Structure 1
Amino acid sequence: MKGKNLRYLNDNPNAMARTVRAGFLLLEHFSLPAFTQVLDTLVTANLLRPQLFTSRTFGMSDGEVVSDLGLVIRPDSQIDCAAIKDLDLLVICGGYRTELKASEELTGLLAKAAELGVNLAGLWNGAWFLGRAGLLEGYRCAVHPEHRPALAEFCKATQVSSEPYVIDRDRLTASSPSGAFHMALDWIKGLHDKALVEGIEDILAFEESRYRRIKPAENICVSAPLREVVKLMDANLEEPLELEQLAVYAGRSRRQLERLFREQLGTTPQRYYMELRITEARRLLQHTELSQVEVLVACGFVSPSHFSKCYSSYFGYRPSKEVRLVK
């Protein structure tokens, strides 16, 4: 279970990863949720492993840009060739009401970015602008359903997918905010490792991370009885339920419950329950001002020594050494 849990924080502190530079081009009426999903993912990655990413926002002019929610954003600067040369990733942020009209300036900048080897991404209908610049030939891409016909009309050599996101070599495209989030996660996993992605999920998508499997290669869905048991575990961290109680609530025998955990989550109920408790303890230590004693009580541990032993087993250091992220 050690590799399964949150050991993503500085797994190898001596390894110095190169900082990846991301730029976001905000088009008029861009999807603010899609943009923030990607940005929040990069920021959270930096929280777990500092200085992995930098980010800048750009506009086509030096003025403000209105998002799809009516919020006014002032980008860091106007995009130009000099700015593009400093990027590893350029994300074109479109939206439902973003006009499908690519100026010669924008088309030229995108072509220049591709020539320089910059990874290019499109959110919502951002793929349309990449296609308009001739940068999706021979690629698969994702675009919002409203704009698929428009993109397919002139991108004959492009496979326009109905998937929420597509990463095809150096092109990343997403058709929705949720797709943008998973696109960013998948991209980060390709740059770093699965452990970092699991850490980001634990913070930003806990509902999904609760059911993260130890054996991801096996495509097995979590059944309804098992989901119910996990929810019960999650709701009873301070006073953990006995396995027999969980089995009764799930309408299964103890042996059947153990088999469900083994087949679908690759572990035992006891170990999974411990992981939920120790993960919550780490979250409380990092993000609250609760004392160590208050945390161990809130997570169902009977003594400081037992808590310290379990914590060290999962994370490799005592809870007293945990980094507090609250001021």
Structure 2
Amino acid sequence: MLQPSPTAPRTYGFLVLPNFTTIGLASAVETLRMANLAARRTLFRSVLIAATPDPVTASNGMRILPDHGIADAPALDALFVVGANPISYDRSTRPLIDWLRQLARQRVPLGGICTGSHLLARADLLKGYRCTIHWEDIEALKERFPGIIISNQLFELDRDRYTCSGGVAAMDMMLQLVARQDDGLAIAAKAAELLLCDRVRGERERQRVPLRTLLGTAQPKLSQVVAIMEANLEEPLGLEELASLNDVTVRQLERLFHKYLQRTPSQYYLELRLSRARELLLRSDAQVREIALACGFTSPAHFSKSYSRFFGLSPLGERRQASLH
């Protein structure tokens, strides 16, 4: 049985839009419930809010009855927009936009789950903030709102704006928000165990965007080069050899990577190797030296320096942090 909290529970509101994604909402709300169980007291209260008190239909056909309409919503410690799939451009969202702006003026932290970032952007509430959205909608958001800083991270916690890419990434975001509370690290770790989550993913982790989605079918040579890179992580190939294998010049190869992947071939190759190294660190018992060699690094020192620069933690620090969860 949960004990009363010595301080008032934090009330997190979830604004559900028609055709909202059920998995994003459930991942967020259930994480807060598990945090309460882990703490053995009520730290968080979740309330469902909609434009009106009428039932709202999710993208999978499920219907839910909100606790409040926006007209009678309670005081909130944070509000998360659970976005529609597909994104809606319906003008009926105007009252929601006005309400979100009112909350922003009251300095209520605002968040977006899945495509929820889109409505925050329409309300002009993401300028100057880093945000994210599901990888399928990144380009559309960039085109419609060119002044917004959009990443392909799983989630972004930038001051009083909390956004995530959707799905189970909502759980990762909520666990990180739980960890920010008093005694939060231990509570978040226990909540993750209750959720059968083997590790708590951090802000620096990226969505796995399929390359075919980034490139389409118009760049078969670039796709082929990346496939060769992925098959040769232990003994990386030089740019000249990669170019020769694909009947292009090094200059052409560099232009392709810059245009379609916004990085040099060497940078992309290094990221592939480091991402593979991270998988081995977190999912195997291999020694750091062994992992370094398996991912094409000739010395553990060079590997550690590259890893720290990219992920913000040393390989050993990464393992220690993962063991805490």
TM-score, structure 1 normalization = 0.59
Instruction: Please give the per-residue CA displacement for 1:3-45, whole angstroms capped at 9, x wherever unaligned.
Output: xxxxxxx9xx999344111111111110100000000011111
The answer to whether 1:159 aligns with 2:146 is no
Question: Is structure 2 residue 32 aligned with structure 1 residue 54?
Answer: no
Alignment of 1:108-147 (within 5 A): 108-147=98-137
Q: Is the 8 A contact 1:136 1:155 kept in 2?
A: no
Give the letter for the 1:168 counterpart. D
1:44 corresponds to which of 28, 34, 48:
34
User: Residue 172 in 1 paired to residue 162 in 2?
Assistant: yes
CA deviations on 1:56-102 (whole Å, 9 max, x unpaired) are 1111122111112211111112112x525x11111111132241335
Is 87-96 or 200-209 further displaced after alignment?
Answer: 200-209
Distance 1:202-1:79 versus aligned 2 partners, 3 A rule:
same
Structure 1 counterpart of 2:82, which letter?
C
Structure 1 counterpart of 2:179: 189
CA displacement at 1:118 relative to structure 2: 0.9
Contact 2:55–2:63 (Cα < 8 Å) also in 1: yes
Q: Distance in 2 between matches of 1:150 and 1:95?
A: 14
Render the CA deviation track for 1:284-304: whole Å, top value 9, x for unaligned.
xxxxxxxxxxxxxxxxxxxxx
Report the 3-state secondary structure (helix = DSSP H, G, I; strand = E; otherwise coil) of the residue aligned with 2:110: strand
1:236 corresponds to: none
CA distance in 1, matches of 2:20, 2:139: 20
The root-mean-square deviation of aligned C-alpha atoms, in Å, is: 3.3
Q: Distance in 2 between matches of 1:61 and 1:15?
A: 31
Structure 2 regions of 5+ residues with no counterpart? Answer: 201-274, 287-315
CA contact under 8 A between 1:27 and 1:98: conserved in structure 2? no
Q: CA deviation at 1:119?
A: 0.9
Decide whether aligned partners of structure 1 residues 172 and 16 sit closer, same or farther in structure 2, where only a CA change above 3 A counts. same
Report the AA paired with residue 123 of structure 1.
Answer: I
Secondary structure in structure 2 of the residue aligned to 1:69: coil
Is 1:227 matched with 2:309? no
Change (3 A) 1:136 1:44: same
Partner SS for 2:73: helix
The 1:14/1:78 distance shift into structure 2, 3 A limit, reads closer
Structure 1 residues 15 and 163: alpha-carbon distance in aligned structure 2, compared to 1, 3 A threshold = same
Aligned residue pairs: how many? Answer: 216
Q: 1:263 to 1:53 in 2, by over 3 A?
A: closer
Question: Could you tell me which residue of structure 2 aligns to residue 87 of structure 1?
Answer: 76
**For residues 121-141 of structure 1, what are the alpha-carbon distances to aligned partners after superposition, in whole Å with 9 as ceiling and x for unaligned?**
111110010010010000010
Distance 1:25 1:195, change over 3 A: same
Mapping 1:56-71, distance limit 5 Å = 56-71=47-62
Cα 1:65/1:223, change in 2 over 3 Å? same
Could you tell me which residue of structure 2 aligns to residue 200 of structure 1? 191
Q: Deviations over 1:103-132 (max 9, x none)?
A: 221110000010111111111110010010
Aligned partner of 1:97: which letter?
P
Q: Distance in 1 between matches of 2:55 and 2:69?
A: 10
In the alignment, is the contact (CA less than 8 A) between 1:127 and 1:143 conserved in 2?
A: yes
Query: Contact (CA 8 Å) 2:282, 2:319: kept in 1 or not?
Result: no
Distance 1:156 1:62, change over 3 A: same
Tell whether the 8 Å contact from 1:93 to 1:122 is kept in structure 2 after alignment.
Answer: yes
Query: Is the 8 Å Cα contact of residues 21 and 53 (structure 1) preserved in structure 2?
Result: yes
Residues 141, 172 of structure 1: 8 Å contact kept = yes
Distance across 2 between alignment mates of 1:14 and 1:73: 28
Q: Which amino acid aligns with 1:127?
A: S
Assess, with a 3 A threshold, how the Cα gap between structure 1 residues 208 and 106 changes in structure 2: closer, same or farther.
same
Q: In the aligned structure 2, how far is the partner of 1:186 from the partner of 1:109?
A: 26
